[in-house]
C-alpha cells in the first residue's frame, strides 16, 4: 500500500443507500470517491466554523450595543457590528 505524503488514510462505513448516492455523485462530478468525501468534509467543517463564529457574535452583540468603546473603531472601516 503506497502512502501519499501529507495525507492520512481514513476508513468509514456508510449505509448502502448512502454509498450508492456517493457513487452517483462522484460520477456526475467526475471525481474520485476520496475527493468527494474530502470536499464534503471540508464543506461541513467550514459550515460548522461559520456557525460557531455566528453564535459567538450573537452572544457578544449585547456587549457591543451597550459599550461604545467596543465599537469606537467602526468609523474607520464604516461597518457596523452585527
Q: Classify residue 1: in a domain, yes or no.
A: no
At 63 the pLDDT is 77
What is the rounded average pLDDT for all residues in the chain? 86
Question: Is the pLDDT confidence value at 79 over 60?
Answer: no
Taking only the tens place, the pLDDT of each residue in 9-46 is: 999 999 999 999 999 999 999 999 999 999 999 999 99
Question: Is the pLDDT confidence value at 8 over 70?
Answer: yes
Q: What is the largest CA-CA distance in the chain?
A: 60
Q: Classify residue 11: in a domain, yes or no.
A: no
Asked whether 22 and 33 are in contact (CB, 8 A), the reply is: yes
Count of domains observed in the chain: 1
Domain that holds residue 58: 16-77
Amino acid at each position: 500500500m503506497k502512502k501519499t505524503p501529507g495525507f492520512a488514510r481514513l476508513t468509514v462505513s456508510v449505509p448502502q443507500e448512502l454509498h450508492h448516492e456517493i457513487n452517483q455523485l462522484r460520477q456526475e462530478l467526475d471525481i474520485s470517491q476520496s475527493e468527494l468525501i474530502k470536499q464534503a468534509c471540508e464543506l461541513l467543517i467550514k459550515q460548522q466554523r461559520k456557525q460557531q463564529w455566528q453564535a459567538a457574535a450573537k452572544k457578544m452583540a449585547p456587549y457591543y450595543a451597550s459599550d461604545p468603546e467596543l465599537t469606537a473603531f467602526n468609523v474607520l472601516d464604516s461597518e457596523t457590528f452585527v
